[in-house]
Amino acid sequence: MLNSELKKSLISIFGPNGFADSKEDCLTYSYDATSLNYLPDAIVFAETAEQVSALMKLADRHKVPIIPRGAGSGYTGGSLAVNGGIILVMEKMNRILQIDQDDMFVIVEPGVITGQLHAAVEKLGLFYPPDPASMEFATIGGNIAENAGGMRAVKYGVTRNYVMGLEVVLPNGEIIQTGSRCIKDVVGYDLTNLFVGSEGTLGTITRAILKLIPLPEAFATAAVSFPTLSSAAKAVPEIMRQKIIPSTLEFMDKHCITAVDRYLKVGLPQETEAFLLIEVDGFSSELPPVLDKITAMCKSCGAIDIKVATEVNDRARLWKIRRSITAALTCYTLKGDGEDMVVPRSCIPDIIEEGERIGDRYNLLMINYGHAGDGNIHVSLAEKEIPVSDDQVELAIMELLTAAVGMNGRIAAEHGIGCLKRNKVPLNIDPPTLKLMKQMKDMMDPNGILNPGKVFPQETNASNTEV
């Protein structure tokens, strides 16, 4: 509960319509895309960097936690008030301030919806490649805080590769500017990349300069069915060896295929145990020979069915298979919040096979799909014949992640750490490195007000309870 003096100060900063603390309002901002729920003490809606600055100064003085929040679509609890405090909602800071067609950059506020940014720049023949699955409702600020990836990362990279500069409010209320509008810039430390992926623990982003590139002239999509996972896995590096870098290279395993086929009734071949969705882009004249090479390579690796689409509606039908996964998986009794690990792409069949063995030991299905082109695997766990306890599920997850790390993988690729995965961070990061990270956090946020209980593997001393 906030005292009356603090509440009065917040209303003076944000106005009566920019502050809320009713139980109903707090419940609305107590959850995200995970199964976790934590009740905040209040919510404020920022419209300017100056308001955010005033809030930080006030919170730092009173030692009240501040939790920045975009659309609340995260999968690791990054925008949850695990220690209570004030949710800082950035959705009203939603303006595209400038699109520069000559120097190819855009300046945006953090509340801009990613999909809306795509549409705005593509009208001008420009392209912002990062495309997280949540792009139709996720915000740019959240994407930057999580260093979001997406399906096009195999060719174009992730959010970090497009952030040229930032305006950031520090926990003490100071407003700083990082980076610039220039392609080359070695003036001072690279503070921009420090904030990208920091999950709102070091500062609050209030403006971003993002790099744009020319919009590709044409796109084509191939949907390829394989009789075994190993044959599909073999096709991935073979495509790359042909000097073809697809804009997307997605995969689904047999459990995923079963669910999607049942959900959409698309009639995938019965013997399909692995499915690749491959998209290429570029000049129209370039695509036919590239598609011929991809088709030939997939056939040589044992593909049993190949569908190619170049028209918008035909491509959309193929993409519907991939985009329906989340809805389709409700046919299973899912356990946990799902995993977001990454391994070198040559290790995909090995980690999936190891996951099958772990699943068999714990009576769990390991349902795999994701981004074959960059080794990012999303794993959903589901019960087989009998119920499985949460403790057993957690043991299975730890074994799976440990196996991935043993293959030079990482426990998280694009969904962040948040509070859900923080105690697993030591699987990837050694104690001296964690110590340095914590020293940086303590130096920038000595009172620990900014998004506490995230990223670092420490126990939460929550002042409130889960709801």
Kindly report, residue by residue over 408-422, the tens digit of the pLDDT: 999 999 999 999 999
The reply to whether 396 and 347 lie within a common domain is yes
| In the predicted structure, residue 287 carries a pLDDT above the cut 90 | yes
User: Residue 467's pLDDT is what?
Assistant: 52
The reply to whether 110 and 151 lie within a common domain is yes
Please measure the distance between the N-terminal and C-terminal CA atoms of the chain and give it in whole angstroms: 15
Apex 298 CA angle, 292 and 301, nearest 5: 145
- Is 437 a member of any domain? yes
The Cα–Cα gap between 164 and 185 comes to 9
Which H helix or E strand runs over 267?
none
| In the predicted structure, residue 267 carries a pLDDT above the cut 90 | no
Structural domain boundaries enclosing 127:
96-214
In this structure, are residues 66 and 88 in contact, taking their beta carbons and an 8 Å threshold? yes
The Cα–Cα gap between 219 and 149 comes to 20
| In the predicted structure, residue 264 carries a pLDDT above the cut 50 | yes
Nearest to 200 by CA among 169, 158, 177, 160: 169
User: Residue 230's pLDDT is what?
Assistant: 87
User: Residue 198's pLDDT is what?
Assistant: 98
User: Residue 460's pLDDT is what?
Assistant: 42
What pLDDT, in 10s, does the model give residues 342-359?
Answer: 999 889 989 999 999 999
User: Residue 451's pLDDT is what?
Assistant: 98
The reply to whether 203 and 224 lie within a common domain is no
Q: Which residues on neighbouring strands pair with residue 108, listed in sequence order? A: 96, 208
| In the predicted structure, residue 464 carries a pLDDT above the cut 70 | no
| Region of poorest pLDDT, from 44-58, 79-93, 306-320 | 306-320
Nearest to 172 by CA among 87, 60, 48: 60
What's the pTM value of the predicted model, to 2 decimals? Answer: 0.94
> Which CATH number is 241's domain given?
3.30.70.2190
- Is 100 a member of any domain? yes
Percent of the chain clearing pLDDT 70 (strictly above): 98
Please state, rounded to an integer, the average pLDDT across all residues of the chain: 95
The arithmetic mean of pLDDT across residues 254-270, rounded, is 89
pLDDT-based confidence at 268, cuts 50/70/90?
A: confident
In this structure, are residues 262 and 328 in contact, taking their beta carbons and an 8 Å threshold? yes
> Which CATH number is 194's domain given?
3.30.465.10
The reply to whether 100 and 126 lie within a common domain is yes
> Which CATH number is 402's domain given?
3.30.70.2740
- Is 40 a member of any domain? yes
What pLDDT, in 10s, does the model give residues 396-452?
Answer: 999 999 999 999 999 999 999 999 999 999 999 999 999 999 999 999 999 999 999
Residue at a domain's end among 290, 307, 324: 324
E-state strands within 152-237: 163-169, 175-179, 204-211, 213-214, 218-226
Residue at a domain's end among 188, 214, 240: 214
The arithmetic mean of pLDDT across residues 19-33, rounded, is 96
- Is 246 a member of any domain? yes
The arithmetic mean of pLDDT across residues 381-385, rounded, is 93
The reply to whether 158 and 190 lie within a common domain is yes
The reply to whether 303 and 224 lie within a common domain is yes
User: Residue 113's pLDDT is what?
Assistant: 98
The three-state secondary structure class of 192 is: helix
The reply to whether 209 and 233 lie within a common domain is no
Percent of the chain clearing pLDDT 90 (strictly above): 91
Phi-psi region of 15 (alpha: psi -120 to 50; beta: other; left: phi over 0): left
- Is 370 a member of any domain? yes
The arithmetic mean of pLDDT across residues 209-233, rounded, is 95
The Cα–Cα gap between 268 and 449 comes to 52
User: Residue 266's pLDDT is what?
Assistant: 84
- Is 232 a member of any domain? yes
The reply to whether 22 and 63 lie within a common domain is yes
User: Residue 209's pLDDT is what?
Assistant: 98
User: Residue 385's pLDDT is what?
Assistant: 86
- Number of domains making up the chain: 4
Q: How far is CA 348 from the centre of its chain?
A: 20
> Which CATH number is 57's domain given?
3.30.43.10
The reply to whether 40 and 58 lie within a common domain is yes
The reply to whether 108 and 157 lie within a common domain is yes
The reply to whether 353 and 431 lie within a common domain is yes
In this structure, are residues 131 and 150 in contact, taking their beta carbons and an 8 Å threshold? yes
Q: What is the 3-state secondary structure (H, E, C) of 391-424?
A: HHHHHHHHHHHHHHHHCCCECECCCCCCCCCHHH
Which H helix or E strand runs over 25?
helix 23-28
User: Residue 465's pLDDT is what?
Assistant: 46
- Token pair, residue 334, equals 């899912």
pLDDT-based confidence at 459, cuts 50/70/90?
A: low
Q: What is the 3-state secondary structure (H, E, C) of 113-134?
A: EHHHHHHHHHCCCEECCCECCC
- Is 384 a member of any domain? yes
User: Residue 466's pLDDT is what?
Assistant: 52
- Is 457 a member of any domain? no
User: Residue 440's pLDDT is what?
Assistant: 97
The Cα–Cα gap between 332 and 205 comes to 39
What pLDDT, in 10s, does the model give residues 147-170?
Answer: 999 999 999 999 999 999 999 999
pLDDT-based confidence at 461, cuts 50/70/90?
A: very low
Alpha carbon distances (Å) from 55 to 1, 17, 166: 17, 16, 19
pLDDT-based confidence at 462, cuts 50/70/90?
A: very low
pLDDT-based confidence at 241, cuts 50/70/90?
A: confident
The reply to whether 109 and 210 lie within a common domain is yes
| In the predicted structure, residue 258 carries a pLDDT above the cut 80 | yes
Residue at a domain's end among 182, 214, 246: 214
Nearest to 226 by CA among 294, 303, 321: 303
